[in-house]
Amino acid sequence: MSAPRRTAQAIDALRHGWAISVAGSDDILHLLPVETALSAPGSQRLLISAARADTLKLTNQAAAASGPDAPVCMSVTGGLSGDLARAIADPVLDMRHPMKGPFVAETPCDSSAAVAALDLARRAGILPAFYILNAADEDTLTLNAADIADYADPVHLQIASHAALPVEAHENAQIIAFRSTNDLREHVALIIGTRDESTPLVRLHSECLTGDILGSLKCDCGPQLHEAMAEMTDTGWGILLYLRQEGRGIGLINKLRAYALQDQGFDTVDANNRLGLPTEARDFAIAAEMLKLLHVDTINLLTNNPEKVESLRTHGVDVAERKPLKINANRHNARYLNTKKTRTGHQL
């Protein structure tokens, strides 16, 4: 079985609550996902992220064992029920279950296998936390840490389908769907207006169910989407790249967990990190590949995020001009927009 196929099957296994084994450079970890598995009878050990270890006050022990930013293998004195494991894994439950422990951070915790396993959990859209099992069953899927790291690189995209799609912003529009050989998410491009020799106005828009569809006031995604399409209509033609990277790449369910943490007082950056997830987990190389398949190599980019400009240029797209996207704040998203400006470098 090929490495990409093993990795894809491992993602599916984690979403179903099945065990996997990850082989690192010096060791192998037999793991069961805390979120989706009912329990792990007999297990008293967990693999958690460095950020979650910090929340649980294991930072000093973890730094002594594996370094301050390394994943942590921890043992739980007195047994580990499914409810306790989920309370340890999910910081949203901290207010409901404030007293947990005592815990011990162990050494060694194989770094390459642990890092790869936590990245795999993010790709599966589940909490980055695992029961550590003593042994694997005969049918447990085993994969290498290096295979997980290489899973999304390079990007293997192809155009799968296209059709005319009149939209509110412009009746002359076409939608093009892209399929990847190593990603279950299908991205789309909406070409607005009639293509000509001028430089197109392009928007990279990451999927946001709550903002784009439900009209959430907690973010600015929905207004940005509609304003971008309107500006493309005004300029003659443009390309909206709709990327299936919900919650800046952490997935819908984890995004809603981050929302719950924001309700407890954390900003969007701290909420993601408290979950053990990165502040930014999107892959803008996908957008560059989509533009290449559309035979577009020079663009005017509609964005407030300089990281998008840099990423596209790094991957071979000439960004001739960055154009700002101006959206008015409301009382529900003012703090979110301020966090974008002060902590993630958005030019608002």
| DSSP string for residues in 244-308 | --GGGGT-HHHHHHHHHHHHTT--HHHHHHHTT--S----THHHHHHHHHTT--EEEEE-S-HHH
Please give the mean pLDDT across all residues of the chain.
87
Q: 199 near 299, Cβ under 8 Å?
A: yes
pLDDT given at position 346: 74
Q: Which residue, 211, 217, 156, 165, is CA-closest to 187?
A: 156
Mean pLDDT to the nearest integer, 295-322: 94
Q: Which residue has the tokens 């162990």?
A: 106
Name the strands in the sheet holding 72-76, side by side, starting at the edge strand that comes first in the sequence. Answer: 103-105, 72-76, 45-48, 129-133, 28-33, 20-23, 141-144
Q: Which residue has the tokens 């493309």?
A: 232
The residue extents of the domains of the chain are 3-149, 157-245+282-343
pLDDT given at position 152: 61
| DSSP string for residues in 3-57 | HHHHHHHHHHHHHHT--EEEE-SS-EEEEEETTTSS--TT--EEEE-HHHHHHTT
Reply yes or no on whether the pLDDT at 6 is more than 60: yes
CATH architecture of 3-149: Alpha-Beta Complex (3.90)
Mean pLDDT to the nearest integer, 120-129: 92
Between residues 110 and 269, the one the model is more confident about? 269
Interior/surface letters 280-291, b for 16+ CB within 10 angstroms, e for the rest? ebbbbbbbbbbb
> How does pLDDT run across 151-184, given as a tens digit for each residue?
765 567 899 999 999 999 999 999 999 998 777 7
> How does pLDDT run across 255-282, given as a tens digit for each residue?
999 999 999 989 888 888 889 888 888 8
**CATH number, domain 157-245+282-343:** 3.40.50.10990
Q: 40 near 88, Cβ under 8 Å?
A: no
C-alpha 292/C-alpha 298 separation (Å) is: 10
Q: Which residue, 181, 323, 176, is CA-closest to 242?
A: 176
Which residue(s) pair with 242 in the sheet? Answer: 188, 205
Per mean pLDDT, which of 100-114, 217-231, 272-286, 331-345 is the most reliable? 217-231
pTM for the model stands at 0.84
Mean pLDDT to the nearest integer, 138-148: 88
150 falls in which pLDDT band (50, 70, 90)?
A: confident
Q: 118 near 84, Cβ under 8 Å?
A: no
pLDDT given at position 155: 66
- Sequence-distant (6+) residues with CB within 8 A of 111 are 24, 66, 70, 71
Reply yes or no on whether the pLDDT at 59 is more than 70: no
